[in-house]
Chain A
Amino acid sequence: MGELTATNLFESQTIFADHKDLIHDVAYDFYGERMATCSSDQYVKVWDSDGQGGWRITASWKAHHGSVWKVTWAHPEFGQVIATCSFDRTAAIWEEVGDTAASGSEKGLRTWLKRSNLVDSRTSVTDVKFGPKHLGLLLVTCSADGIIRIYEAPDVMNLAQWTLQHEIPTKVSISCLSWNPSLSRVVHPPMLAVGSDEPSTTSAAANVQTDKSTACNGKVFIYEYSESSRRWTRTDCLSSVQEPVNDIAFAPNLGRSFHLLAVATKDVRIIKIEPIAESGSAGGASGAGGAGVRFKCEVLAAFEEHSACVWRVAWNVTGTLLASSGDDATVRLWKMQYLNQWKCVAVFKSEPMGGESPPLARAHTTYMRMATMANPSHMPFH
């Protein structure tokens, strides 16, 4: 009997990004058919799938006067809209217009217009995310000076008009944020998680106060919106995360009573956040004042395999696989097993130095099979 496991499990395809400087973010649209990239060269590029597995550039424009940190897509219900944020202290909203008669449309190039420029921040805007669609057209930004801003477009047809709804000072440098995607507004009030990259050595500075003056030196904060008071309140601070946080991501909620939050810090963390029943579901954030504890938080996993700083974490559509990447130039996939354990299921790493390298593939080639690096069980133990 031969082997029952085939070796080629993944295929790869190289795309020449053509950015003149470092790339900071790559984001897929809702359908996974379009991809936006942004870079320190101040450009944003949009790539469209050609339906046969290839990617074709359809737009490229200078979007900011500084490094573009993040790019993100709005839900397609609001049209083809992206938001970017930059070192130049602004965030911008861009819309693709259906004007196919414009110059360049022959070559398949599309026109993106800047609909709005959000200039409220006085420091670098470090992250930008559209809110879950059932809340309307919302946008949240965070900046290095620690202010979270929530904007709303009251008329989704008019992307030029954004009103700054909330300004939440956190007093620490904020590097990343994530909306809780939970659809059920009744059970879960609108919720945001933000991560701070404040160095942990200066513990005094990091010792921030929650709204009700309970000290917490964690680096991940949960904010919730209360319908009754119409404001966002910090309802929790995850004390389990003490090191600077680089990325943060809520998993899609599959109708569960708890939320899963992935955190990229010195390791990969998966944290279970479960609202505590007594603090009331209807009252929402109001529970923060009285009892103090709104959530039961549990670190489900903390993986140190990157053995270095972890930079990004990303969930797949159904929240069953988490990808993490770090300083060690590897990407790891984590998967939940049926007994609620998380396990690494694949590791992607660059060619080890000095290894024989296959010929450089051309840009826009179709997918190539990817070889495994021998069977790990046959490798010498070190």
Chain B
Amino acid sequence: MPLEVQGKFVSQKINKVRWIPEEYVETKCFFTGSWDDDINTIKVWTLDNPDEDDEVDYPHELSSYPVEGDVTQIKFTDKNKIAVSLSNGDVKVLEISVYDKKLPLKELFHFKKLHNYGKEKCSCTSLDTLEGDIATVGEDGNVNILSGRRGEITRTIKEADSCSLHSVCFIKHNEAITGNLRGHMKIWDLRSSENKPAASFLLAGDELAATCIIHHPTQPHIILAGSESGSLAVWDLRMNAFPTSLVNAHTAGVNEMQFHPENPHKLITCSVSGELWEWNMEAMTKSSKGPDSQLVTWMPLDDKSSMMVNSLISALHKSINTLHCDKGRILCGADNEAIYLVKNFKY
């Protein structure tokens, strides 16, 4: 079946979308988090058709949870719990009822002013989760490690960066990587009590922000970062040379990236320039010791070739801020106050 795109205008700029995982049935519900509005909200939506005379399912709002500030990141700490970072410096852990998703979200933990400039507000720009742990970063340059289960701050790296931090990613349980406003990347050993990075390197020479970082699902030493300039950098942490490759990709900032959960060769990216792209990463990896061997080296990327990249929707006039894949369906949220559902995606 051909790719099908369905949009819905929701009257808020959407900064994050997340499918809510289901155990036995197809996912139907998802979260959205808005930004840049007078009052921002985290909403729960479901795909259905109440009239049942229509073949197509449409998103319907189930619940709405107002927050102070912009929603800057949403990540799951558990199947039905999300950690949410907000631009007022707060971090919240919220729970959605497994039985009735219409019920309002329940606040489990609230870290007030986790990131701050003393008495003044400062944005918590992003967070990442790993097995119940939460790593948060903020414009204050601090890194906080939280326990999503106990609701405590387990570690704070004060002034981890002299500039604002904009992205964070767990590499493994005790290791995280952060990116700042200048594209300065630092790797932190969370066991060490020293407030010094284990390693650091620059994303690119242009000194623009590292807007998002992810690692490869099956090869966690492969790290990808998106830049404010729209380019994409790939590193192999086992190699000393940084970065392995830098690709001029989108014409404006990369907002979010995701490897398809079912097929790690597929990478999906979205950008400020309103593009949603699918990358075939298979071409980028070459196995030097056969398919069963662990040792896979990443080909240096030159420039994106048309072979490798597919556009999934015709470019929007406004930024696409977020995406989330679930099998053949990709959700995205954009600055034109709409969410889009791409169906029949081949993965």
Contacts and interface: CB of A to CB of B under 8 A. Distances in A.
B119 interface: yes
Contacts of B38: 51-52
A52 B120 CA distance: 17
B115 to A, nearest CB: 16
Contacts of B118: 100-101
A105 interface: yes
Contacts of A105: 119
A13 to B, nearest CB: 15
Interface in B115-139: 118-120
A51 B119 CA distance: 17
A52 B68 CA distance: 11
A100 B38 CA distance: 26
A51 B120 CA distance: 14
A105 to B, nearest CB: 6
Nearest to B119: A100
Interface residues of A, number: 5
Contacts of A101: 118
Interface string B26-69: 00000000000010000000000000000000000000000000
A99 to B, nearest CB: 10
Nearest to A51: B38
Looking at chain B's contact residues, the main secondary structure is loop
Interface string A97-117: 000110001000000000000
Interface in A51-84: 51-52
B204 to A, nearest CB: 28
Contacts of A52: 38
Interface in A220-244: none
Interface string A42-56: 000000000110000
A184 B123 CA distance: 37
Contacts of B119: 100, 105
A366 to B, nearest CB: 12
Contacts of A51: 38
Nearest to B69: A51
Interface in A259-275: none
A103 to B, nearest CB: 13
A107 to B, nearest CB: 11
A101 B120 CA distance: 11
A51 B40 CA distance: 13
A82 B120 CA distance: 21
B89 to A, nearest CB: 14
Interface string A31-51: 000000000000000000001
Interface string B75-119: 000000000000000000000000000000000000000000011
Nearest to A98: B120
Contacts of A100: 118-120
Interface in A276-317: none
Nearest to A52: B38
A105 B117 CA distance: 14
B280 to A, nearest CB: 45
Nearest to B39: A52
B219 to A, nearest CB: 45
A58 to B, nearest CB: 12
A101 B118 CA distance: 9
Interface string A244-261: 000000000000000000
A143 to B, nearest CB: 39
B116 to A, nearest CB: 11
A381 to B, nearest CB: 43
A52 B37 CA distance: 11
Interface in B204-252: none
A239 to B, nearest CB: 49
Nearest to B117: A100
A101 B117 CA distance: 12
B113 to A, nearest CB: 13
A69 to B, nearest CB: 32
A101 B38 CA distance: 30
A51 B70 CA distance: 13
A273 B75 CA distance: 59
Nearest to B118: A100
Interface string B294-319: 00000000000000000000000000
Nearest to B120: A100
A189 B38 CA distance: 41
A100 B118 CA distance: 8
Nearest to A53: B38
Nearest to A100: B119
A178 B120 CA distance: 35
Interface in A82-137: 100-101, 105
B88 to A, nearest CB: 10
Contacts of B120: 100
B38 to A, nearest CB: 7
B81 to A, nearest CB: 29
A70 to B, nearest CB: 29
A52 B118 CA distance: 23
A23 to B, nearest CB: 29
A100 B120 CA distance: 8
Nearest to A105: B119
A4 B25 CA distance: 49
A96 to B, nearest CB: 12
B162 to A, nearest CB: 17
7 contacts: A51-B38, A52-B38, A100-B118, A100-B119, A100-B120, A101-B118, A105-B119
Q: Which 7 A-B pairs have the closest CB atoms?
A: A100-B119, A100-B118, A105-B119, A100-B120, A52-B38, A101-B118, A51-B38
Interface of B: 38, 118-120
Interface of A: 51-52, 100-101, 105
